[in-house]
Each structure stands twice: as structure tokens, then as C-alpha cells.
Structure 1
Amino acid sequence: MKHASQRTLPDLRVPTIFVKPQTSFSGEEGGGFLRGDVVVVDNRIVGMRPSDKHLDGRILMPRLVEAHCHLDKCHTVERMAVVGGNLEQAILAQRQDKANWTDQDILSRAKRGLSEFVTAGTGMVRSHVDWGDTAPPPRSWSLMCALAEETSQTTLQLSALVGVAQMSDRSFAKQVVASIPDGHALGAFVFGQDGLEAGLRNIFDCATDRGLPLDFHVDEGLSPDLNGLELIANIALETGFSGPILCGHAVSLAVHPTATRNRIIEKLSKAGICVAMLPTTNLYLQGRNGGTPTMRGITLAKELDQAGVPVVVGTDNVRDAFCPVGRHDPMYALEMAILGAHLDSPFDTWLKTITTNACLALGADAPSLNGAPLDDVLLCDATDFSTLISGASRRPANTYFEV
């Protein structure tokens, strides 16, 4: 009989948000951490015990989760003559760039972005893929589906990004949904278009039939006339939709009157809808006035969190027409969110936006260190949350050996 292999990783800190209660984790508490010796059996974490060693107390945590990015668009900025402008101008510039989208171009850029996520310690990624004008899937969708199948270093989910007005055509909607494999998502761009409600109802119906999660780009503008977010919540409550729903951007929530804003947030909470805050792209595109912007152009992360709405933070666009800078790193996106939205300590609350809440939004189990394989956790060169979020190096914990 093979004996279990046991070893100890001395003097580490684990965030308490990743330790389930009444387990074999005990150690010194403080600053949102348990500190002690982590016990590993057959390369799985089984607990923690108090330590008599005083090393550097580095942080051990689950891999990060990227809930909203665009691997089909990334790393295209260097071939664009001019980058800058509002959302509509960015859409036009990116559409023009599609003349360069050969199979090799799409795959090389997507693989580069995915590799950057892996290097940053990301274990799960959801990327939107532009659908285009026809119901049959675009070549980029087929290529990205193949990439998702062959990728072994991280889990890649895809979300079809279709115009909501297109989905008001029932036949079109059914053809799109038929092209989405199990494990991926149905998404739509919701921006006050004609046919909005009909399109959303078809989306909910088709997703229910297939058991697909939903992921919307919604109300990406600073106009109080945009309120697709409330319509999505209304339909979710009316239909009792069971799959996870993620609504990205939700920028107009910041400019609604207080009563309207509170009403929408209450509905989001009741419907169990998650909201993605996307700081880099929204800070770059929103609130342009010809000079320095006076509005942040990002959603109400604090108010949503206080109302029990799960908030996630996403990387969104990296070096394309929508954001000419950035990096494929959820922790960097969280750092930008803290600055852009005045997110204050305790920072373990906001660490959930790129771990626990992001898993919920993607239909995955909440991350836990209990029983976690070493391949699925990170060792970080930090001893507090501020240092961790500020760019401390991260590497797979399976590179750590007993000292």
C-alpha cells in the first residue's frame, strides 16, 4: 500500500476568506490572515498548525480569476494610427482593424494574452468574442473554442458577444446559441438599442433551454437614459433564471437619481446578478469632454457591495482601441479599481472581486484552501494585502519546498 506523502510549508499567511470554518486550520490571527505552518499531504493542503518558526510569513492564496476580458482584440494598438476617443470611436477603430484578423493573427494575440494571465497567476479566464453581423459563428469564435479545448495551464471560458438587437430575431438567436458549446456563455451588448426587450427575452429563453450562463455588456455610458440593467434584472426576477448572470460596465448606474439607483441595486440583489467593474477601459473612454475628465465613469462598487450584490473586477481591454495600455493581470485591475473607486481597507473585502465573487459570476465553486492542490494556489512575496495588491510577485506554490 502506498503511504501518503506529507510535508510542511513553514510560516505562511493564508487569508481567512479562503478558509472554511471548522476545519483543521489554526494559527496566529491578524490582519485578515492566519499565520502558521501549512500541512500538505500528497500535494494537497489539508490544514495549518501554529508555527515556532519566524521566517518571512509570505501569503498563500488561490489562483486569481479573470471574469471579463477580450482576447480576440488584445495587442492590436500598435497597428492603429490614432487611438483615443469615446466608446463609439473605439468600436469603429477596432472594427476597421478586423481587416488584419487572419487565423494566425487572432491565435498569436490570444495565446499571448492567455500566457500573460498564466504568468500573473490566473487559474480561470472568461473572454468575450465579437460575433459580428451573421448568425453562423465568425472564424474567431471557432479558433477561440479550439484554443479553449487545448489550453491546459488555465481554464478558458468564452462568451459570445452579440448585439442585443440582433437577438430580437428569434431565428438568429437560436442559431447563435446552437453554436455555443457547453461550458461557455451567451453574451450581448446592451446600449439602449431598438428591440432591446425582445432581444433580452430571446436571450433568456434560449439560455434557459441550453443551460447557458449570461454575460452582458450593459449601459456603458454616462447617460441616465440608459437602463438596460434594470430591464435585465426585471426579466431575471420574472423568469426565475437559474444560471449565473454577469453584467459588465453598468456605468450609467453612477448618474441615475438616488431613488432610481437604489431601486435598481435592490433588484440586482434579489435576482442574484453579479456586476463587473472594469476600471481601466471605463476610466479611459468615459466622461471625455475635450479636456481633463471630471467624471470617473465607473460603476458604483461600494453601493453594490453594501447591498449584497457580488462585485467583480475585470481586466477588460488590453492594448487595443478601447484601452491603449494595461496588462492581463486581475490584481493590476483591482489596483486600478481601488484608485478609481476609492475602495478602502480592509482590502480582503475587495480581493474577493478577483477570486470568490469572480468564481460565483462564472458559475464555479468558491475558492478554498481546504484540500486545494498546490498547483492551484499561489505563493506571493507579500505579508499584507496592500503589498499583495500593489504588484508583489506570485508563483505557483508547487515551487515551494520545505526549509
Structure 2
Amino acid sequence: MGRIVPGGVHGTALLKNATVPACLVEDVPCSDPAALLRADVEIADGRLARFLPTGSDAGGLPVHDLDGGLVLPTLVDLHTHLDKGHIWPRKANPDGSFVGALNAVGEDRIANWTADDVRTRMEFALKCAYAHGTSAIRTHIDSLPPQEEISWPIFEELRQEWSGRIELQGVCLFGIDRLQSDAAYLEAIADRMVTSGGIMGAVTYMIPDLDRHLEAVFRAAMARGLDLDFHVDETLDPKADTLRHIAETALRLGFDGRIVCGHCCSLSVQAEAEADHTLDLLAESGIAVVSLPMCNIYLQDRRAGRTPRRRGVTLLHEMRARGIPVVVSSDNTRDPFYAYGDLDLVEVYTQATRILHLDHPIADWIDCVTKTPAGIMGLSHGQLKAGGTADLILFNARDWNELLSRPAGPREVLRKGVSIDGNLPDYRELDHLMMERQA
């Protein structure tokens, strides 16, 4: 991706003439959330030591002039599917539909998801995210028997191996309709979340006795002190309103953990009064919402031979106006649910800005890939904090317009103040997995 600093940064330096977003600098009061500040940034022994006025004395430090280039903290991806990633070459979506994706992934899981296959693809995805500048990821993990016995141990190993590079969190994923015929599964998977350090999750549908099954999931989490992370209403059917049911269940039970709801597409096609009521419940219950604009725009409102009319993204502007924490994330990568992507949150933020109109004003929407998801994950990532670890991304771009116009432009990732190797892994590393499928 090209060097910003010739020869790289080596743990101690003065980054002169940097541009930093005021909204991401801790303890800097600013009346304008979109403000970009010029500063000299001092890095000492891998830590972000001080923000200084431009033109400050280097005091003998190695000096690198950024010429106004943006400096961001490393990024945080709240909703991904590392276990599904990069299966597209062997199992494409036959028609680009949600049902096509669901069936294709199910077939591939049964045929191919051995421990070696899952580990190799997950590690490839982590290499991509790391090179792009991501330092924390939450991944949903398909957890239907017998796959959970394969994928969760692999996740635990990778979480340990990648600690200090990418902080990993895992969420169990199963359709809530399973509880209609297999109530014992819930206790078993909840117990596994305790032993695996995971988060309780499910895909919610409008099924009979939805409230009873939701309450069972909530109570399983409450009994074990687990947070919740749901896939919700990933459809443009206005009758799908499990999001409202989740918020009502949280309020009725007094759930005091963190709750994240992803997708929430149907909210965008519901009557305004109905949507407003749900939004008020979300605000009251403290639920955070993550939109996956690239995946949703790929799957939703797709019909052969017909131009799509609707984007399938949820009501982020209305949510944010109510104080609801909102995030955008990568979701799927090169699998039947999304044929493209590379776990590059700069691309995700850029596409989200265009799809969701996160501009005019841009304000502090950069929060949605930095400190807001970090806060939801209970991490201190995603901020520029004096005294904190110098985990940074340096750009040639000098302002939001330049960055959003050329998101694939040069950037340099620093971890603990040291430039990393920004080369992306080659897709050829996965060829042996794809060839096995074709044989």
C-alpha cells in the first residue's frame, strides 16, 4: 500500500504536521465534532507521548514530516464472520439472494469446514485486517452441532496467538428457530460461551412463541453473566419486527449487560410511527446497533433482471439522534453472503458514507469504526490518547474528502509506534483449499 514514512517509524519519533480528528483525541474539548486539528505527534518507546503545537522542537527525536497527512487510531470491526470468509472460489452464491447464500454456506460447511480449513481461512482474514490497520474484531461463529466442536477451539487458539495484534471476541451463531425443537441446545451453547469466553448470540426471525424463545436466550445469558449480540430482521419485509421484541424483552427482564443488534433492515420499510416506537425502545434499553451496508446492499432487494430500489440499511441517523450507539462494520468477506470485501474498515467507512449519507456534515461519524465499537467491546482502542499505545494509521490524505475519495491510497500502520509490513496476503495461499473442493 506504499510507505508514508520512508524507512518506517521505529518506536520513537516526532510526526510533524499531522492532522488529527478532534473527536478522537481524548480530553480535547471541541465544539465542532468534524474539526481536524494540526499538531506534532510525539511517539516515545511505543507510546503516544504528547500532542504538540506544529513547529515544536524535536528535542533530538527522529523527525517525519507528514505534510498535513491524517493520523487515525487503529480501527475496530464489531461484526464479522471470519469462519465463513474466502469460500467464494469453491462455493459461490448461485443467484445473489439471501436464501442462496444460506444454502450455499450450509452445503460448504458440511463438505469442507474441517479444523485445518477453518483455521487457514480465519488466519488469512486476520492477516488482511491487520495489514489494513484493524486492531480489534468481533466475529460470529456458526455454532450448530457438530460445527461448534471444530470452530470454537480454533477460535480460542487464534485469539491467543493474535493477542497484542488483533483483540478477538467471538459470538455463537444459530437460528432462534432451533429452540422450537431443541431446547437443550440453548443451555449447551450458553455453557460453551462461558468456557470459551464468548458472547451469546442468535439470528432472530418472526417465529411462533418468539417472545418465549427470546426470554430463554436472555435468561441463559443473564444466568452466566454473558453479553448478547443478535442478527436481527435481515429482510425488507415490514412485518419483521423482532428488533422491537428484543428491546421489550431487555426492558421487561432488566437485562444489565451489553446488547448489540446487527442489520435491522426491515426498520427502513416500516411505517414511521412503528419505526419511531421501536427506536424509542432501543434508546430506553441501551441497545447498540451495527449496520452492515456493503453486505445488505449486495443481498437486499435483489431480483433477476430488475434494478434494486432499496438499500436495505437501517435508520442510523434517526438512531444517533436519540443517543443510540451506532456502528458500521465489514460483515462477510468473499463468501456467499457478500462476494467481495477484504476486512478493510477504511473501505467500509467510505462505502457507508456514500450509502448511508454520513456526510453534509461528516461530523464525527468516524466514531462508528473507532471508539464506539471499542466501547461496546469493552476495549480502549479507537482513540488518540496521550500516554496510550501508539497504534496508528498514517495517511497521505489530508482531510476527509481526500480520504473518502481515495480510500485505497497510501497508508502506513504503526503498532506500538513501529511500522508494520503492510503487504497483504496473496489469495494463492488459499488455493489448496479451493482445489480440494474442485477435485
Asked if 1:71 is matched to 2:82, the reply is yes
Give the TM-score, by structure 2 length. Answer: 0.83
Where do residues 318-357 of structure 1 align in structure 2 (5 Å cutoff)? 318-357=333-372
Deviation at 1:193, TM superposition (A): 2.4
Contact 2:96 2:336 in 1 (8 A): no
The equivalent residue for 1:211 is 225
Q: Are the aligned partners of 1:83 and 1:324 in contact in 2 as well (CA < 8 Å)? A: no
Please name the residue that 1:395 is paired with: 412
Q: Deviation per CA, 1:181-227, whole angstroms, max 9, x where unpaired?
A: 46421110112123422221111112112221111000000011101
Does structure 1 conserve the Cα–Cα contact (< 8 Å) formed by 2:92 and 2:335? no
Distance 1:82 1:64 in 2: 29
Distance 1:81 1:268, change over 3 A: closer
- Which of these residues, 374, 379, 383, is aligned with residue 359 of structure 1? 374
The code of the aligned residue for 1:299 comes to T
In structure 1, runs of 5+ residues without a counterpart are none
Deviates more, 1:389-398 or 1:104-113: 389-398
The aligned runs of 1:41-120 (5 Å cut-off) are: 41-52=44-55, 56-80=67-91, 83-98=94-109, 99-120=111-132
Partner amino acid, structure 2, of 1:385: W
* Higher RCO by CA contacts (8 Å cutoff, separation 6 or greater): 2
CA 1:386–1:199: 2 relative to 1, 3 Å: farther
8 Å CA contact 2:43, 2:390 repeated in 1? no
Q: Which of 15, 24, 32 is equivalent to 1:18?
A: 24
Distance 1:320 1:66 in 2: 18
Q: Does 1:371 align with 2:386?
A: yes
Counterparts of 1:346 and 1:279, CA distance in 2: 19
Give the distance between the partners of 2:412 and 2:138, measured in 1 at CA.
Answer: 21
Identity %: 34
* 8 A contact 2:78–2:329 mirrored in 1: yes
TM-score by length of 1: 0.90
- 1:213–1:219 Cα change, 3 Å: same
TM-superposed CA distance for 1:380, in Å, is 2.2
Q: CA deviation at 1:370?
A: 1.9
Deviations 1:365-385, CA, capped at 9 Å, x for gaps: 463322354442222222112
Relative to structure 1, is the Cα distance of residues 30 and 93 closer, same or farther in structure 2, using a 3 angstrom cutoff? Answer: closer
Shift of 1:57: 1.7
CA-to-aligned-CA distance 1:332-386 (integer Å, 9 cap, x gap) = 1122212222221433522111112211332334633223544422222221123
Show CA shifts across 1:38-63 (max 9, x none): 23344322322211278512222211
Q: Are residues 95 and 263 of structure 1, via their aligned partners in 2, closer, same or farther at CA, if it must alter by over 3 Å?
A: same
* Cα shift at 1:170: 4.8
Pairing 1:64-213 to 2, within 5 Å after superposition: 64-80=75-91, 83-98=94-109, 99-133=111-145, 137-152=148-163, 153-167=165-179, 170-180=183-193, 181=195, 183-213=197-227
- Say if 1:347 and 1:386, in contact at 8 Å, map to a contact too: no
